[in-house]
Every structure is written in structure tokens, then in C-alpha cells.
Structure 1
Amino acid sequence: MFLNVLFVIAIVVSFVWYFYYKTKQLRTTLPIRKKWFAAKASACLGAFLLFFGLNFLFVYQSGVTYVVSGLFILLGGYFMYHNFKAAKHYGQFVKEEVSLNQ
């Protein structure tokens, strides 16, 4: 019961952060900052998939659920890993881009 509530909170928080970074990406005009926000938004989407897969695994327990949950967990973990690395890479250049475009 406690894990289910924890996963639901994590799902909602990760979706809210995804929506936040996606709107920041759409509102900015600088190209590196756009890529930085896109990477952060995709990392949050990966967290959403990961927590959704974990929650689905604990709520329903059948053979099909294990396959679907495993797929969500693997995809979510991959998206989080890849996009955290991309956000870290683009984050190095954000301050430089802002200083050049002032």
C-alpha cells in the first residue's frame, strides 16, 4: 500500500516536471537552451515510464504484466540515463550561450 502511494506520487511529480520543462523548451529562443530543456523533459518522461512500470508491476501480477512492466522499466531507465547525460552535456554551454547572445 505504501509503495503504491509512493509510486503514484512519483508518477505525478515526474509528469509535472515533464510538462514544466516542455513549456520552458517551447518558450525559449536560444538553440542550446532549447536542447537542454528538451533533454531534461525527456529525462522526466523516462522517470514517468520507470515509475509507471514499477507501479504496474506491484498493482497487477500476471505474466503479461511482467513483460509490459519490464518493457516500461527498461525504456524509462534508458530514457533517463541517455537524457541525463545529454542535459549534463548541454548544461555546460548554456551560460556561454547566454553571455554570447546578450
Structure 2
Amino acid sequence: MPIFVFLIIFSFIFYLFYKVKYFRTQLPAEKKWLSAKSSMALGSFVFFFGLNTLINPLSNVAIVVGIVLILIGAASFWAGLKSYKFYLPHAIKEAEYVKEQEMKEKTITN
């Protein structure tokens, strides 16, 4: 189905987007938060790939591979979601601290 192809491409693009942001940031809590988001995107990519495999099964092997991909994708998404919820408050505190430090530096230099 074309909808699954769109979702596969969409989730893979988000995975790449979050990985690029992960490598560009220097803050440790934000790195873990972005890693969790990329894990969720990769999990959805694998999940939708497995669903797409099950739409037109060519053999019993395709059915088994599709089910395995769905289970792995769902587990990866779930683990990423738990990690995202855990690191979100830490990333917010870290961003507020960095913003506060930048404000202090601006007042000192002026």
C-alpha cells in the first residue's frame, strides 16, 4: 500500500534528522533525549516495514520476517518512548541552565 511506503520514508527521514541533530549538539542530556527520539523514529520505520511486508506475503518466510520486524519495531519504539519521557525533564533543565549562563555572559560583557 502506498500509505505504508510514505510512512516508511517519513519515519526514516525523521531518523536521519534526529541523528544529525544528535551529532551536532554538545549537551549530554539533549544528546540522550535526541537519541531516544531517533530510536522511536527507527522503531516506527522497522514497524511499518514489517507491516508492508505482511500486506502481500509471498511466502511463509515473508510472514515470519514481517512479524519479527513488527515486534522489533514496536519494542524499539516503546523503549525510545520510555527513554524520551525520562530524559525530557533533564533536557529542559539543561537548556534552561545554558540559557541562563548565556544571559549572564551577555550582562557581563555589556
Bin for the TM-score computed over the shorter chain:
over 0.9
Please give the secondary structure, in 2, of the residue aligned with 1:85.
helix
Aligned to 2:54: 57
Counterpart among 67, 70, 85 of residue 67 in structure 2:
70
Aligned to 1:25: 22
For normalisation by structure 2, the TM-score amounts to 0.86
**Offset of 1:95 from its aligned partner?**
1.6
- Give the ranges of 4+ consecutive aligned residues of structure 1 lying more than 4 Å apart after TM superposition: none
Question: Does the alignment pair 1:6 with 2:36?
Answer: no
C-alpha separation in 2, matches of 1:28 and 1:59 = 41
2:72 counterpart letter in structure 1: L
Question: Does the alignment pair 1:41 with 2:38?
Answer: yes
**Offset of 1:57 from its aligned partner?**
0.8
Q: How many residues align?
A: 99
Q: State, as a whole percentage, how many aligned pairs show the same letter.
A: 40
Q: Which has the larger radius of gyration?
A: 2
Q: What is the RMSD computed on CA atoms of the aligned residues?
A: 0.9
For normalisation by structure 1, the TM-score amounts to 0.92
1:100 counterpart letter in structure 2: Y
Aligned to 1:16: 13
Unpaired runs of 5+ in structure 1?
none
Unpaired runs of 5+ in structure 2?
102-110
C-alpha separation in 1, matches of 2:53 and 2:63 = 9
2:38 counterpart letter in structure 1: A
